[in-house]
Amino acid sequence: MRAPAGLHLDYLSAAEYQSAHWADVLGVAAFSGPPAPAPGAGEIPVAEVNTPVLLGTANVYEVWRSGQPAESGRRNRVRFRRSENLLFGCIALAESEVAPAAPAAAPASPSALHAATEEAYREICATLDALGYPHLLRVWNYLPDINRDTDGMERYRQFNRARAHALSASGRAVHGRVPAASALGAASGSPLVVYFLAGRSAPAFIENPRQMSAYRYPRQYGSHSPVFSRATLLRQRDSLTLFISGTASIVGHRSIHVGDTAAQTRETLTNIAALLEEANRVERSARFSLGSLACKVYVRRPADLPTIRAELAATLEAGSRVIYLQADICRQDLLVEIEATGMCPLKTDA
């Protein structure tokens, strides 16, 4: 079978994973445990994320393909695989592995999570600089106990502070031209897991007219705002790829429909629809639609799954690619978060 043009995303079952073709695969994210060795998978990097799958098979694999031959490598703790213009990478760091060290001017050491986050992002940035893929396109972050307070601060806020410090120290932007991203909870005792896609060319950065840009959030959400764009849009020769960040029931900067799972899901889909409209406006040749998206849905309370599925079924087209994972979300009043990827072919001259 001919490989699809440009970047491509598949969600595979365990059986499909075992029979997959690997030549153009950039990387894999595995949920609910590591995958069994697959014939031909070799040194392809696998991000092992501890967020249980809620529906269907116990194992789902997120597989990113470039449509081109790819080669694997490792730099320090970052495992990567790259094609001519794209790179997938991942890193896992247990907080116990990283001894926090206090800056000279600081009276107290940063937390273990802060130290692990800074170290992970410094290694990621150094890898991209060394290999010549300077543009982060999309980043996924999974940290254990995301809503718990430790060291006098919620762990998600610790993560945001450390990410901003590491990016700034590496000479990267912390607002404006920043990647699409998600940050979700993982099971207690899990390592910090970060996986990412990067490229040689910069994407377009898309914001939602219904929402304040996350990197401009007021200080009530923490001393350092989250560093992500609402979406990024990658243009390749034959295709467009839209990376939609983790999206929830937020209008402006406030959570709305608190306690109402169905209403939060509808508001989340409205926000995603607004991003699609904005992406189609920015890139006139784009024709992104809700029905064409691959969606990853994070559910805080597994008992809410039927309600969330019903709302998605009423909006998405039959046959839409959707996986459901149990995970805590960055704000304790949010019950559902949806991230999505859209891919649109470009017409080329014969």
Active site residues: 337
Q: Are 186 and 49 in contact (CB under 8 A)?
A: yes
**DSSP structure class, residue 301:** S
* Per-residue three-class SS string for 242-300: EEEEEECCEEECEECCCCCHHHHHHHHHHHHHHHHHHHHHHCCCCCCCHHHCEEEEEEC
The Cα–Cα gap between 193 and 341 comes to 20
The Cα–Cα gap between 86 and 26 comes to 8
The Cα–Cα gap between 162 and 182 comes to 15
| E-only strand ranges, 68-203 | 71-75, 78-82, 86-93, 135-144, 149-150, 153-154, 180-186, 192-199
Q: 27: helix, coil or strand?
A: strand
**Paired strand residues for 65:** 8, 25
Tokens of 298: 């994070």
Q: Are 80 and 43 in contact (CB under 8 A)?
A: no
Closest CA relative to residue 231, chosen from 194, 192, 286, 185: 286
Tokens of 33: 């445990």
For 342, list phi and psi in degrees, rounded to 5: -115, 140
Closest CA relative to residue 142, chosen from 283, 32, 4: 32
